[in-house]
A and B are shown apart, each in its own frame.
Chain A
Amino acid sequence: AQSVSQHNHHVILSEAASLELGCNYSYGGTVNLFWYVQYPGQHLQLLLKYFSGDPLVKGIKGFEAEFIKSKFSFNLRKPSVQWSDTAEYFCAVQNQAGTALIFGKGTTLSVSS
């Protein structure tokens, strides 16, 4: 069965620090990859997505992610975090167009000002 692993359960950073959240998936075929963010008290929002093409994708709010097929990874990065980035981050995989997503367990990011 497919699975998604997010290595960091809770990350604590100071403002302006760089961020990298790991995500690995287990599926041998073609996949679509997503990062979602859930700010406190709010619903899920799409940060960025990868379907095909350039493996480095840019999303909203300065986030980017790199798809490395050989490593089955899709790590999320941001060069300089802000206090407002404090949220829960979920990596998700979709193995067929239009189908449901398989989510990782999520990473809680806490940014101190």
Chain B
Amino acid sequence: SAVISQKPSRDICQRGTSLTIQCQVDSQVTMMFWYRQQPGQSLTLIATANQGSEATYESGFVIDKFPISRPNLTFSTLTVSNMSPEDSSIYLCSQTRGGNEQFFGPGTRLTVL
């Protein structure tokens, strides 16, 4: 299995501010993924973060709103910029191990007031 940690585990933020979420994995991986789970909803992929290249964003998500960094093979950050209450969600990072199996971090629960 994989060990994935996220910081912070939860936060309450004011409208218009930004929050950077950190994700640390215990072994080197090429691809990491960022998902969002809105209240009562399923997980939606935000972007794929490859080390050494720009992140690839899914439809409906843009770099200006969700900038991602991937400085090395074990770490990534997701920033939620200029937040609004609609950004209140759980944000999860994940990584793939053994070719296909995907492991998820514990998530960051964000509440925007």
Residues of A within 8 A of B (CB): 32, 34, 36, 43-44, 46, 49, 51, 90, 94, 97-106
Contact = CB atoms under 8 A, between A and B. Distances in A.
Interface of B: 30-31, 33, 35, 41-45, 48, 92, 94, 96, 99-107
Contacts of B94: 100
A98 B31 contact: yes
B23 to A, nearest CB: 13
A49 B48 contact: no
Most buried by A among B35, B43, B44, B48: B43
A72 to B, nearest CB: 18
Nearest to B34: A100
Contacts of A105: 41-42
- Identify the 8 closest CB pairs spanning chains A and B, nearest first: A43-B106, A44-B104, A103-B43, A103-B42, A105-B42, A98-B96, A100-B45, A100-B33
Given A32-B100, A97-B99, A100-B48, 12 more contacts: A34-B102, A43-B92, A43-B104, A46-B103, A90-B43, A98-B30, A98-B99, A99-B31, A100-B35, A101-B43, A101-B102, A106-B42
B102 A94 contact: yes
A97 B100 contact: yes
Nearest to A106: B42
15 contacts: A34-B102, A43-B107, A44-B92, A49-B100, A49-B101, A90-B42, A94-B100, A94-B102, A97-B99, A98-B31, A98-B96, A98-B99, A99-B31, A99-B48, A100-B102
